[in-house]
Amino acid sequence: MVKDKSNVVLVTGATGGIGKSIVNKYSQQGFTLAIADKDEEQANKLVHEINHGNGKAMAFPGDLLDQNYCDRLANEVQKKLGSIDILINNAGLMRRGDITQTSDEDYDLSMKINVEAPFRLIRAAIPLMAEAGGGSIVNVSSCWGINPGPNHLIYCTTKAALAAMTKCLGRDHAHQNIRINAVCPNEVNTPMLRTGFEIRGLNPDDAIEELNQSVPIGHIAEPEEIANVVSFLSSDEARYICGSLVEINGGKAVY
């Protein structure tokens, strides 16, 4: 649980659309950022931006497919920055298609990035947080993990696993003053979403405008709107929220 603004926040997938917004949100509040991303160049660039903007950050580049990297990351952050108070499991992978279109590679990569990596990171972080008297973990799941949508079999499966993991962990570690929750966004205006449209031969701006019309609140989420909820869940204002799945969907349900 957040106690002051000197705490250290570890964010995975930190240079992506949602990740960068999460990083900026915490930096603006005076937190120290541990930037974890497989793109070392972009991680170092983000650290440079933060440190030259009166913030504090350090890069911890690595591949979440590497079990040793996942197992060691929390300890490395504590060793170099003094603590690990908040963990944001933001990195994720989306592969589309029904089960007949899902390859072994789709399955393996999705399970390793969306499920195994958060499992390993959390397993390593919990003893450190418990010894320090508490902490907060926020996983980025999905509305599609709560109410699965069509033709995203492996994505929905892995995000459902992360949601179930969150609820179990929230119960199991509340007594250690470690609060574990998840945000569950629907569509978010990120480079990953736009790239997905381009791969399918669609104009991203037109496709997003069409999506906007399907959302009761009037638009799909911007990354900053996800970051705001992530930050809230790790704050003392949310000190009684534990093991919860918070949908961020603008009123748009998944059918």
255 is catalytic: no
In degrees and rounded to multiples of 5, residue 57 shows phi and psi of -155, 155
DSSP secondary structure, 134-173, as one string: -EEEEEE--HHHHS--TTBHHHHHHHHHHHHHHHHHHHHH
Q: Which two tokens stand for residue 191?
A: 């480079």
Q: Nearest Cα to 2, choosing from 251, 255, 233?
A: 233
Active-site residue (options: 26, 155, 240, 255):
155
Q: Nearest Cα to 75, choosing from 27, 115, 129, 112?
A: 129
CA distance 77 to 97: 37
Q: Yes or no: say if 230 and 139 are a contact pair by the CB < 8 Å rule.
A: no
Q: Which two tokens stand for residue 195?
A: 């790239």
Which residues neighbour 139 within 8 Å (Cβ) at sequence distance 6 or greater?
Answer: 89, 118, 162, 163, 165, 166, 180, 181, 182, 183
In the 8-state DSSP scheme, what is residue 8? E
Q: In which element (H, E) is residue 45 found?
A: helix 40-51
Query: What residues are annotated to the active site?
Result: 155
